[in-house]
């Protein structure tokens, strides 16, 4: 199904693709003309995604909300230049899709609100969209690796599954450093009562700019009340199939790292009713530091994560 949403900033109308789970009251919305962002996920009309500043701010200024793709790099880079796969690139803030964090570092890639996605298939509970990265000189100026980028989103059996395929279209391999930023919220429960759960993890210590220092700390599985804590932590060596979760009241939401996401960021800013378990194809700043995988010519790369919504078991918190 298609709908529309007015953007008061640009005074345009964008089409919204609505997906409905045949087996449950879950409904999801994605907006191809706004960077293929996941705009909404509701359970019987109750919103489960953090709306933050809303769709208009995402389109106009790249202010993330819902489930945005962070592409071609997730989180920040440590400088405005990088060298990867035989190419050296200089990034200019404010040009060719480059946005910066408060410290002036390039952050979250170049596709925030990008309008060039094309829907290639759609049904009641599934949509596929494609972006020809190599056809846009501005995109190539920031990431000179021609390829087709495809997303398929399926809503079934109380699970939203997002499949990403990177298919090189030249003889150059494509670095895989992207990710997603699902902003989850537990409705009708105070933030300090939310329980977050993580698997055993390998934490990368970060400096004051949010960049890995090289120090690594092993962290056991945990289940703990969020309380007044805040998180903005980076992890590597995430196991395939790892599950992160937040629960409270009548809802439990799980993020499954099904394939192609060996890194993660856990983000829960103080004073905001959201928590994010970010699937990442490589750790923060890997595009500069190395340690990323590549999609090779003739060998498309696939990555899959899913968000599962279940009734909460109301199990007591286990403090970390």
Task: Give me the pLDDT at residue 13, please.
Answer: 55
- Give residue limits of the domains in the chain: 17-310
CA angle 280, 284, 289 (to 5 degrees): 120
**Rounded Cα gap, residues 275 and 86, in angstroms:** 37
The DSSP annotation for 24-79 comes to SSEEEEEEGGGTTEEEEEEETTEE-B--TT-HHHHHHH----SB-EEBSB-SB-SS
CATH match for 17-310 among 2.40.50.140, 3.40.50.2300, 3.40.50.150, 2.70.98.10: 2.70.98.10
Task: Give me the pLDDT at residue 313, please.
Answer: 55
**Rounded Cα gap, residues 167 and 283, in angstroms:** 21
Q: Does the bond joining 72 to the residue before it have cis omega, within 30 degrees of 0? A: yes
Task: Give me the pLDDT at residue 309, please.
Answer: 97
Answer yes or no: are the C-beta atoms of 137 and 146 closer than 8 Å. Answer: no
Answer yes or no: are the C-beta atoms of 36 and 28 closer than 8 Å. Answer: no
Residue length of the chain:
320
pTM score, whole prediction: 0.93
- pLDDT, one tens digit per residue, over 239-292 is 999 999 999 999 999 999 999 999 999 999 998 999 999 999 999 999 999 999
Q: Is the pLDDT of residue 192 over 80?
A: yes
Answer yes or no: are the C-beta atoms of 50 and 185 closer than 8 Å. Answer: yes
């Amino acid at each position: 199904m298609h709908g529309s949403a007015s953007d008061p900033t640009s005074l345009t109308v964008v089409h919204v693709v609505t997906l409905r789970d045949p087996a449950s009251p879950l409904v999801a919305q994605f907006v191809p003309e706004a960077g293929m962002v996941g705009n909404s996920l509701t359970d019987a009309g109750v919103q489960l995604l953090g709306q933050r500043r809303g769709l208009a701010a995402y389109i106009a200024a790249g202010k993330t909300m819902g489930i945005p793709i962070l592409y071609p790099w997730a989180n920040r880079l440590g400088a405005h230049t990088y060298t990867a796969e035989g190419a050296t690139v200089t990034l200019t803030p404010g040009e060719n899709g480059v946005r910066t964090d408060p410290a002036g570092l390039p952050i979250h890639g170049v596709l925030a609100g990008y309008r060039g996605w094309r829907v290639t298939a759609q049904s009641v509970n599934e949509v596929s969209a494609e972006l020809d990265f190599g056809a846009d000189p501005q995109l190539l100026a920031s990431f000179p690796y021609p390829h087709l980028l495809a997303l398929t989103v399926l809503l079934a059996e109380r699970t939203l599954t997002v499949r990403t395929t990177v298919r090189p279209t030249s003889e150059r391999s494509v670095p895989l450093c992207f990710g997603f930023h699902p902003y989850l919220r537990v409705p009708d429960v105070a933030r300090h009562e939310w329980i977050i759960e993580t698997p055993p993890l390998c934490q990368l210590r970060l400096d004051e700019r949010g960049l890995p220092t090289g120090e690594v700390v092993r962290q056991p599985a945990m289940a703990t009340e969020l309380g007044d804590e805040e998180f903005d932590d980076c992890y590597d060596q995430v196991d395939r199939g790892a599950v992160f979760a937040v629960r409270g009241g009548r809802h439990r939401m799980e993020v499954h790292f099904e394939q192609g996401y060996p890194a993660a960021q856990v983000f829960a800013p103080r004073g905001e009713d959201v928590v994010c378990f970010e699937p990442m194809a490589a750790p923060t700043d890997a595009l500069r530091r190395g340690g990323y995988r590549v999609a090779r010519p003739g060998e498309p790369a696939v990555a899959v994560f899913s968000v599962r919504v279940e009734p909460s078991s109301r199990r007591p918190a286990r403090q970390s």
